[in-house]
A and B are shown apart, each in its own frame.
Chain A
Amino acid sequence: MPGKETFKLVLVSIIFTISALIALPEIPFVVNSKLWIIDSAIGGYKIKIPRKDGEKVIDLSNFKKDSEIGESQKIIYSLKDGTSDNKDQFLSEVEKTIKKRLSLMGIADFSVGREGDNIFVIIPEYEDFDRVNQMLLGNGKMMFKTLKDPGGWSSDKAQEIFFDTGKWQDTGITEHDIQNLIYTIDPASGDSMMIISFTSEGRNKFYDLAEKNVNLPIAIYMNDSEYPFLMPLISETLLKNDKNTDPSVTIRYPKQVVEDYNLQLKNPLPADIVYVDKTIVTPPIGVNFISKYVISFVIALILISIFFVIKFNLTGIIFTYALICSISVFAALAKLLSLSIGPVFLSASILVTGIISSLGYLIFNDMKSGLNEGKPFDIIYYQVFGKAKERLSAPSIFMFSASLLFMLITTGRVRVFMSVLTVGMLSVILFYSFLLPTLLFALGRDEK
């Protein structure tokens, strides 16, 4: 076998080993005999990556379970003013806003509905309750305030003034004057910054206010909270700026906080809501979902392998190797990208496995007819994977592109389906462009 092909075979083994180790859950490996004592485990790793702002842990211990097969968090909200005449209208508008906010937060698996005068939100167990709750409770209001008594300001009193609500007065600059809050990093200092993008009217109002408050603080309140979100000092240099430039302020919040506030600002609640309760909901479609469907998936793979062996003799086993390897890569990618498993994942996996099997069938069928015509293996091989490769690659690449496009423009479960399909199509491409050709060239040449 040429060195290049040997190298490819080693690469296939490495890809398979790494992806299997990523995809596997933690399996204990314990031996306690007179000769050997081993207390170890394989799979389910937690990889620690050192970063500037602390360690990041990639948890590969388990697949995420979606709300249909794993426990879910059910959060209940009600209107702050439950006696309003337009209660029904407000409730349905709040429901719509909640759905929009959850989608824009990137939570694909959620359900929102009404239970009497309450609104319930169901999210999977792995979603961050505190963040979701903060996001949904915020009404999206923003208020700029100045000091009632500018003469009383000094930097050593900053903390006292920050917490004293009585020292601040409204300025008339509100969320209606803001277009966007943009998180950025100052290239010179490396500090986190927030650009406040005003409307043209809002910008004029702000610079008028800034001129009257040079070297004084301005408090920015979000979501009618008791204390300011920010309290920047108006510097003289700010007034030297072009008046069409949006001001920026140094912040100590992470990017996500700014993005969440921006999302609330752009999708304000039509009426204020309050948190009522949180409960844990048991999976609606059974706790044995994973075990049962893993077994049935394995049976299906065995049946497909038998089909290939009947149809293409022992060469069919090569397909089984390549199929298992592709599925490992698919599962590993799904785990790394935190795709949640459940009925949607399984549906897309069926499609992906079917496509891999079909491409395998097309390749083996062409090889078989070529061999029956008496052509040498190498010529058929280069015809199938060279000249006629477009037949395999064109539909796969277009399906990958279509699923990627739909993933970007859809929300909810359709988005999950498209995400799984996109990842799956990557393993399909790897299957016909690398795994199967390599294995077939190395192991299939002697088979007639």
Chain B
Amino acid sequence: MISFLPSLSPIFNYLIITAIFVFVIVIFFSVVFDDVRGKVSSEIKLSFIFTFCINLLFYLLIFYLIKISTEPDIYDNEALPFLYLMFLSFFTGAIPVMEIKGNLLKTKGRSAVEAYDNVSKKVSSVVREISLLFALLLIPMYFFGNGSMNMLLILFLLSTIISCAGWTVVFPRILKFRQSGKKS
């Protein structure tokens, strides 16, 4: 369990740690996107945070289902896959965001969706291959390790898949959804 604030319930610990991370993401955007139009920047930022939170929620839901069905033997390391997912999701999510930024700076006046459409193919392939690299690390450990970390490794792999799906499938949809919502 997260021993962040031992006096609070575990749910609050997860919430606080997520809130701090989201705050770090907001700072990240304010520093990195200072040369991009405010409107477009906030559109990307909100979509990013939304996708990030969906990734975490989706993981927690699957973890809850695993927990009630199999009682995973991961000792006191329950918080590790959650933290792993948070950092991995931020890192993977930074790839499409930085590509979009690069595209926006090349051709000014574009919307975030237009910029994403230009780089979507490259982004999808890069995110997929990066997730594959993480999987290449996890799979040998599952088969050649001593077995004590297998449940953790499965949860890490799950986090990798969720992160990959989040940034290649969910993120562009949220970006487009926000754009269409504004137009209507």
Known contacts A300-B140, A355-B91, A411-B3, A346 near B83 by CB under 8 Å: no
Spot the interface stretch: B56-64, B108-116, B143-151, B170-178: B143-151
Q: A303-B140, A357-B133, A414-B2 are in contact. Are A343 and B149 (CB under 8 A)?
A: yes
* Contact, CB under 8 Å: B17 / A406: yes
B152 near A391 with CB under 8 A, answer no
Known: A361-B126, A394-B28. A347 touches B156 (CB 8 A): yes
Contacts of A300 in B (CB 8 A): 136-141
B77-A303 in contact (CB<8A): no
Q: Check B83 against A417 for contact (C-beta < 8 Å).
A: yes
- Is B117 an interface residue, CB under 8 A from the partner? no
Asked if residues B83 and A414 are in contact (CB atoms below 8 Å), the reply is: yes
Judge whether A394 and B146 touch: CB under 8 Å: no
List chain B positions with a Cβ less than 8 A from chain A. Answer: 2-4, 6, 17, 20-21, 24, 27-28, 31-32, 75-77, 79-80, 83-84, 87-88, 90-91, 94-95, 98-99, 102, 126, 129-130, 132-134, 136-141, 143-149, 152, 156
Instruction: Known contacts A284-B75, A296-B140, A350-B137; decide if A403 and B87 are in contact (CB<8 Å).
Output: yes
Q: Judge if A253 is at the interface, Cβ distance under 8 Å.
A: no
Give the residue name and chain of the A residue nearest to B142 (CB).
A296
Using A343-B149, A394-B28, A402-B21 as known contacts, list a sample of 11 further A-B pairs with CB atoms less than 8 Å apart, ordered by residue number in A. Answer: A96-B6, A296-B140, A300-B140, A346-B149, A347-B77, A347-B152, A354-B130, A365-B126, A412-B3, A412-B76, A418-B83
Q: A286 with B146: in contact, given A296-B140, A402-B21 (CB under 8 Å)?
A: yes
**CA gap between A254 and B145 in the complex, in Å:** 44
B20 near A406 with CB under 8 A, answer: yes
25 contacts between A and B (CB under 8 A): A68-B75, A103-B6, A285-B75, A296-B140, A296-B141, A296-B145, A297-B137, A297-B141, A300-B136, A304-B133, A304-B136, A343-B80, A350-B84, A357-B130, A357-B133, A357-B137, A358-B130, A361-B129, A362-B130, A365-B126, A390-B98, A399-B90, A414-B4, A414-B79, A417-B79
A contact patch SS: helix
Contact of A351 with B87 in the complex, beta carbons under 8 Å: yes
Q: Which residues of B contact A141 (CB under 8 A)?
A: none
Bound-complex Cα distance A344 to B133 (A): 20
CB distance from B167 to the nearest CB of A (A): 12
Q: Which residue of B lies closest to A109 (CB)?
A: B76
A299 B4 Cβ-Cβ under 8 A = no
Alpha-carbon distance between A303 and B143 when the two chains are bound, in angstroms: 14
Chain B CB within 8 A of A37 CB = no
Contact A293 B137 (CB under 8 A): no
Residues of chain B with a CB closer than 8 A to A350's CB: 84, 134, 137-138, 141, 156
Complexed CA–CA distance, A111 and B76 (Å): 9
Closest-by-CB residue of B relative to A289 is B146
Complex CA distance for A418 and B3, rounded to whole angstroms: 12
Q: With A and B bound together, what is the CA distance between A296 and B95 in angstroms?
A: 28
**B-facing residues in A332-385 (Cβ within 8 Å):** 343-344, 346-347, 350-351, 353-355, 357-358, 361-362, 365
CB distance from B27 to the nearest CB of A (A): 8
Flag if A285 contacts B80 (CB, 8 Å). Answer: no
Assess the B87–A411 pair: CB atoms within 8 A: no
A119 CB to nearest chain B CB (Å)? 16
User: How far apart sit A299 and B142, CA to CA, in the bound complex (Å)?
Assistant: 11
Contacting pair A405 B20 (CB below 8 A): yes
By Cβ-Cβ distance, the 7 closest A-B pairs, closest first, are: A412-B3, A296-B144, A285-B148, A395-B94, A292-B146, A299-B140, A354-B134
**If the complex has contacts A347-B80, A402-B21, are A411 and B6 also in contact, measured as CB distance less than 8 A?**
yes
Does A8 touch B at the CB level, under 8 Å? no
Docked CA distance A339–B145 (Å): 21
The listed residue (A347, A390, A399, A402) touching B32 by CB distance below 8 A is A390
Q: Nearest Cβ distance between residue B179 and chain A, in whole angstroms?
A: 24
| Residue A49 is within 8 A (CB to CB) of chain B in the complex | no
Chain A stretch 57-80: residues in CB contact (< 8 A) with chain B: 68
- Given the known inter-chain contacts A399-B91, A410-B3, please indicate yes or no for A296 contacting B143, CB distance below 8 A: yes
Which residues of B have CB within 8 Å of A68? 75, 148
Q: Which residues of B contact A295 (CB under 8 A)?
A: 144
Chain A residues lying within 8 Å of B145, measured Cβ to Cβ, are: 292-293, 296
Instruction: Note all chain B residues with C-beta closer than 8 A to A86.
Output: none
